[in-house]
Amino acid sequence: MTTELPGADILIQALIDLGVDTIFGYPGGAVLPIYDALFKQDKIKHILVRHEQAAAHAAEGYARSTGKPGVVLVTSGPGATNAVTGITDALMDSIPMVVITGQVPSPLIGTDAFQEADTVGITRHCTKHNYLVKSPDKLGAIIHEAFHIATTGRPGPVVIDIPKDVQVASAHYTNPGKITHPTYKPAFAGDPDLIAQAMAIFAQAKRPIIYSGGGIINSGPHASAALRELVALSGAPITSTLMGLGAYPASGPNWLHMLGMHGSYEANFAMNECDVMLCLGARFDDRVTGRLDAFSPNSTKIHVDIDRSSINKIVRVDLGIVGDCGSVIEDMVAVWKAEGYAKADLTEWWTKIEGWRARKSLNYAKSANEIMPQHAIRALWQQTNERNPVITTEVGQHQMWAAQHFGFEDANKWLTSGGLGTMGYGLPAAIGAQIGNPDALVIDIAGEASIQMNIQELGTATQYRLPVKIFILNNEYMGMVRQWQELTYSSRYSESYSDSLPDFVKLAEAYGWKGIRCSDPAKLDDAIAEMLAYDGPVLFDCLVAKQTNCFPMIPSGAAHTEMLLESAQVSGTMDDEAKALV
């Protein structure tokens, strides 16, 4: 018989047994026993953030860049509620994460005790699953089950709420090993008959397209490898969602760039005119489809997703395959080879695509007087791409420009808040990514508005000597809000000007960072070189052209074929139907 351990020690031992080496957290009254248990061991490193939301985003950045689950530890009440945005972000982007929250002692639950919040109630619909641990006897098993649920199937956040008395009371703990859950049995392998049917359809296609998404990244490096093989075997063009960038290399010959609202002309037109669409680990988000009744009207659609509820949720498909993307694509490759399918003659299709490509939809105006934001991204890429950096972003115009103009060659290098669109994600995510990849070059491409939403995390990077770089495209506007106001509300800039900005260079220096400011396009390359040469954290305040908008763009409610390529096409107002769309 094992000796009894206090709940807090059971938690730490279970985490160690699960291979956890890093926790992002913030202490408080209801987790003091756990923090004391952390103090007495040296296997798990705790990263002290400055705000609990940042703990969750840092865990996301760690998870997305390493493939391992992110772990968060916060106190009850405000600790838990502050983490909710990050938890919801992880749910929307399917990031494996386990969040441990302290709770007031069991006898006080429901009495409006100090720092009490109904954490399981609040997080019920922003987690994949959650637990309130009522007894230390169950704690070990719950920790192991939580990791199993967070990391298998469609990954997601799991919250474990542990009352303080459960952290102190003793119980026996044994490592349960591999979990078999009585009701939670996620799919893994896809149905072989459906996979064979899918390949029979795909091999016959005259105008095929592969539309891949974040599911490939979640599935792991083998999924990217299989995807690349399938593209090479079939010769099909490939586009990707925001979340899937890097699964297929941006330098690859079949790459059409990202699709959707700010996707390329060739990607959206190819989606519109394809005859067979192979959707791998993407979910037909409204940012991708544009107007639904005009979405790829004449194609046979095949959809592979690990979550059955994603299939036929928004777009009706002809063939749905439930399974892990990596496993299904590997099976597809095997079927393709076993059936001896040859690469079809897609000359006509590619000629058409080249015609769309010739529109050069990602081109932008050049300027000798001011730094164009797209040029800044390109210049950053130019000097860093050989180091295969990890790029995080905040949310807005800079995020879309980064997606459009920074070429990603590999999976797990692009960390962005896609589903929830959380401003303030980028800096803590960069911190998490740097912790998980100590030798990597990690850059948060930011906007001057977004960066202020978790600016306090400058201190976290300083504390752990993380050489994170922040590259702010500073146009003194919440640019995407302003862009929509120009499109829809006759340029009435209601509250979208970033007034009273701090001096970012001084702010950086106050936190012990290096600060660089640049507004001259002629000096940009040298300034970027100076940032990269500095062995420590740098905040780069890049003053860019203020009025530039992000194109191409499919206005909400428009079809793929109704793309706007430049600002001259932008009208000043829209009807109510268009205004009501997000």
CB of 10 to another protein, least distance (A): 21
Residue among 142 and 231 whose Cβ is closer to another protein: 142
Backbone angles phi, psi at 521, to 5 degrees: -60, -30
Q: Which stretch binds another protein (CB under 8 A): 59-67, 295-303, 474-482, 574-582?
A: 574-582
Helix (H) or strand (E) holding 321: strand 319-322
**297 burial level (CB within 10 Å; 0-12, 13-18, 19+):** exposed
Please list every residue from 293 through 322 that binds another protein, using CB under 8 A.
Answer: 307-309, 311-313, 316
Of these, 42, 193, 386, 576, which contacts another protein (CB under 8 A)? 576
The Cα 484–Cα 567 span in angstroms is: 12
Residue among 313 and 546 whose Cβ is closer to another protein: 313
The Cα 192–Cα 339 span in angstroms is: 13
CB of 129 to another protein, least distance (A): 4
What is the 3-state secondary structure of 148-207? HHHHCCCCCEEEEEEEHHHHHCEECCCCCCCCCCCCCCCCCCCCHHHHHHHHHHHHHCCC
Residue 182 sits in the site that holds another protein (CB under 8 A): yes
Please list every residue from 151 through 170 that binds another protein, using CB under 8 A.
Answer: 153-154
CB of 128 to another protein, least distance (A): 7
CB of 119 to another protein, least distance (A): 12
CB of 577 to another protein, least distance (A): 6
Residue 124 sits in the site that holds another protein (CB under 8 A): yes
CB of 312 to another protein, least distance (A): 6
Please list every residue from 329 through 358 that binds another protein, using CB under 8 A.
Answer: none
Return the bridge partners of 72, or none.
Answer: 24, 99
Q: Which stretch binds another protein (CB under 8 A): 17-25, 398-406, 516-524, 569-577?
A: 569-577
Q: Which stretch binds another protein (CB under 8 A): 65-73, 95-103, 509-517, 573-581?
A: 573-581
Residue among 186 and 407 whose Cβ is closer to another protein: 186
The Cα 346–Cα 236 span in angstroms is: 8
Residue among 439 and 577 whose Cβ is closer to another protein: 577
SS3 category, 469:
strand
Residue among 67 and 186 whose Cβ is closer to another protein: 186
Token duo for residue 327: 């496993």
What is the 3-state secondary structure of 257-303? EECCCCCCHHHHHHHHHCCEEEEECCCCCHHHHCCHHHCCCCCEEEE
By the 8 A CB rule, do 447 and 397 touch?
Answer: yes
Q: Which stretch binds another protein (CB under 8 A): 149-157, 189-197, 228-236, 362-370?
A: 149-157
Helix (H) or strand (E) holding 403: helix 397-405
Of these, 184, 381, 464, 534, which contacts another protein (CB under 8 A)? 184
- Among 59, 72, 43, smallest CA distance to 431 is for 59
The Cα 22–Cα 435 span in angstroms is: 8
Residue 181 sits in the site that holds another protein (CB under 8 A): yes
CB of 290 to another protein, least distance (A): 19
Where in the sequence numbering do the catalytic residues fall?
52, 114-115, 164, 480
Residue 121 sits in the site that holds another protein (CB under 8 A): yes
Token duo for residue 104: 């007031």
By the 8 A CB rule, do 203 and 177 touch?
Answer: no
Residue among 161 and 448 whose Cβ is closer to another protein: 161
Residue 125 sits in the site that holds another protein (CB under 8 A): yes
Residue 359 sits in the site that holds another protein (CB under 8 A): no
The Cα 221–Cα 516 span in angstroms is: 36
Binding site for another protein (CB under 8 A): 120-121, 124-125, 128-129, 132, 149, 153-154, 181-184, 307-309, 311-313, 316, 575-577, 580
